[in-house]
């Protein structure tokens, strides 16, 4: 293998790298990201990569693992790709896949984490991809409420700091900045240590908010664009997300899984919420204490059921709330719960187990395909996820509502913080 045969990267829209693999070189894969996973391949460690392909069977490509720029890469065969989707395979759309590359034998544990990895058709093929490897061997102190790692982290039952993986923000024509600030401050008040978001093209005011919270180290934002052949012009992309729902849902699994893998060394418990969703905790003042009470058995995750807040604004108890407290002004929820289904829950993922996910559950665990029992549903009496909608479509939800004021316990803290941020950013 020629040390000087460095990769010639085939970039696509700044975020994806293209490679052609297979015995007949007839399988195209677009790769997005790569991570070191200390629990991959039975606990021996490996590199996991996220990508998409229209191939129903992408086969087993080869990996070139780079430890330095002055030595040739280590070549190894990838494990069978994992299809990361609850939807069945369909060659009419780009399907999300997880690839795993074994690391070289290291009995003395002297090798560092690789710097980069390439996917190629054969061991000596000149690479057209080169992905930086993210991740760490140990979990960072941000995962622990005490600020220090215990002697036996795996057996720790209490004291975990949760984080949130949000969506890829698409608010280009809509100024969502007020609601975004309120959402972030509500999550902070509940004890979430970080919020991780994805962004492509957003409204200028939203960009102000993202930059502010990044500077204050509360959020991290990762740039994102859909892979070829999908269009990323903001107006067309918004229309595409409304008309090509199955294709969009398949792509969501890439950035949801990317978010968890990218940050699993910072936090063990990571939730997925959208900006119109806020956890409701009737018996706990913060999410960390709620986690303490539900961790009686290790699982790949927990489900929080939706309940719709879609009734009128509370005219008595919240009438004095300013307009920018959109969620806190709405205290009426539909009395009837939505019919239980996979799409009516959101998940809390345990990154000791979960690896590949979709918006509402787990697809792939460290031990292989996740079973239905891998996720436990939390009783709505214990906690649920308030889904704050603009209105309710069904008549029985509009007329049969009940008031719930659990979020009002955060009113003073959140109101003060939101006003401060909006004034600093000249948004009010």
- β-pair partners for 11: 17
**153 and 127 share a domain?**
no
Please list, residue by residue across 398-417, b when 16 or more beta carbons sit within 10 angstroms of its beta carbon and e when fewer do. eeebeebebbeebbeebbeb
| Domain assignment of residue 1, yes or no | no
The per-residue pLDDT for 179 is 95
The per-residue pLDDT for 119 is 97
The per-residue pLDDT for 398 is 55
The per-residue pLDDT for 2 is 46
What global pTM score does this model have?
A: 0.92
Question: How many folded domains does the chain comprise?
Answer: 2
**124 and 240 share a domain?**
no
Domain hosting residue 130, numbered range = 11-134
**112 and 173 share a domain?**
no
User: Considering only CA atoms, which of 69, 307, 269, 282 is closest in space to residue 159?
Assistant: 269
**263 and 376 share a domain?**
yes
- Grouped pLDDT means (10 residues each) for the chain, 428 residues: 64 93 87 96 90 95 93 94 94 96 88 96 93 94 88 79 92 90 98 94 94 97 93 87 91 95 96 95 94 79 90 61 90 82 87 90 90 85 90 57 91 96 96
Last residue of a domain, one of 101, 134, 167: 134
Last residue of a domain, one of 75, 109, 134: 134
**377 and 258 share a domain?**
yes
Give the position of tokens 């780079």.
Answer: 66
The per-residue pLDDT for 317 is 61
The per-residue pLDDT for 1 is 44
- β-pair partners for 368: 365
The per-residue pLDDT for 109 is 81
| Residues sharing a CB contact under 8 Å with residue 192, sequence separation 6 or more, in sequence order | 161, 162, 163, 164, 271, 287
């Amino acid at each position: 293998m020629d040390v000087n045969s460095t990769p010639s990267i085939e970039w696509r829209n700044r975020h994806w790298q293209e490679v052609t693999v297979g015995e007949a070189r007839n399988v195209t894969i677009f790769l997005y990201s790569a991570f070191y996973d200390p629990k991959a391949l039975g606990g021996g460690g490996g590199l996991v990569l996220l990508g998409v392909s229209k191939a129903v069977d992408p086969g087993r490509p080869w990996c070139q693992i780079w430890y330095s720029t002055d030595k040739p890469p280590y070549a190894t065969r990838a494990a069978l790709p994992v299809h990361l989707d609850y939807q069945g395979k369909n060659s009419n759309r780009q399907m999300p896949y997880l690839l795993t590359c074994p690391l070289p034998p290291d009995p003395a544990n002297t090798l560092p984490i690789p710097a980069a990895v390439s996917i190629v058709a054969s061991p000596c093929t000149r690479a057209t991809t080169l992905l930086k490897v993210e991740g760490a061997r140990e979990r960072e102190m941000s995962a622990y409420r005490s600020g220090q790692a215990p002697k036996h982290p795996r057996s720790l039952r209490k004291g975990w700091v949760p984080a949130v993986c949000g969506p890829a923000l698409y608010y280009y024509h809509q100024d969502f900045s007020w609601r975004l600030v309120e959402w972030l401050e509500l999550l902070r008040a509940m004890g979430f240590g970080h919020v991780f978001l994805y962004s492509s093209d957003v409204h200028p005011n939203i960009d102000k908010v993202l930059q502010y919270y990044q500077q204050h180290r509360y959020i991290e934002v990762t740039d994102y664009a859909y892979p070829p052949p999908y269009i990323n012009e903001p107006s067309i992309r918004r229309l595409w997300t409304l008309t090509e729902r199955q294709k969009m849902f398949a792509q969501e699994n890439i950035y949801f899984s990317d978010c968890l893998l990218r940050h699993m060394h910072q936090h063990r418990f990571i939730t997925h919420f959208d900006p119109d969703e806020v956890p409701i905790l009737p018996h706990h003042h913060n999410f960390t204490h709620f986690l303490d009470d539900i961790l009686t058995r290790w699982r790949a995750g927990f489900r929080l059921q939706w309940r719709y807040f879609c009734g009128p604004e509370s005219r008595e108890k919240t009438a004095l709330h300013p307009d920018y407290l959109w969620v806190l002004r709405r205290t009426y929820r539909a009395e009837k719960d939505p019919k239980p289904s996979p799409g009516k829950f959101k998940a809390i993922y345990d990154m000791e187990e979960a690896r590949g996910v979709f918006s509402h559950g787990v697809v792939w665990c460290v031990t292989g395909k996740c079973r239905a029992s891998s996720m436990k549903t939390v009783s709505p009496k214990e906690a649920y996820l308030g889904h704050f909608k603009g209105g309710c479509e069904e008549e029985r939800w509009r007329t049969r509502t009940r008031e719930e004021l659990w979020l009002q316990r955060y009113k003073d803290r959140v109101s003060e913080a939101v006003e401060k941020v909006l004034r600093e950013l000249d948004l009010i």
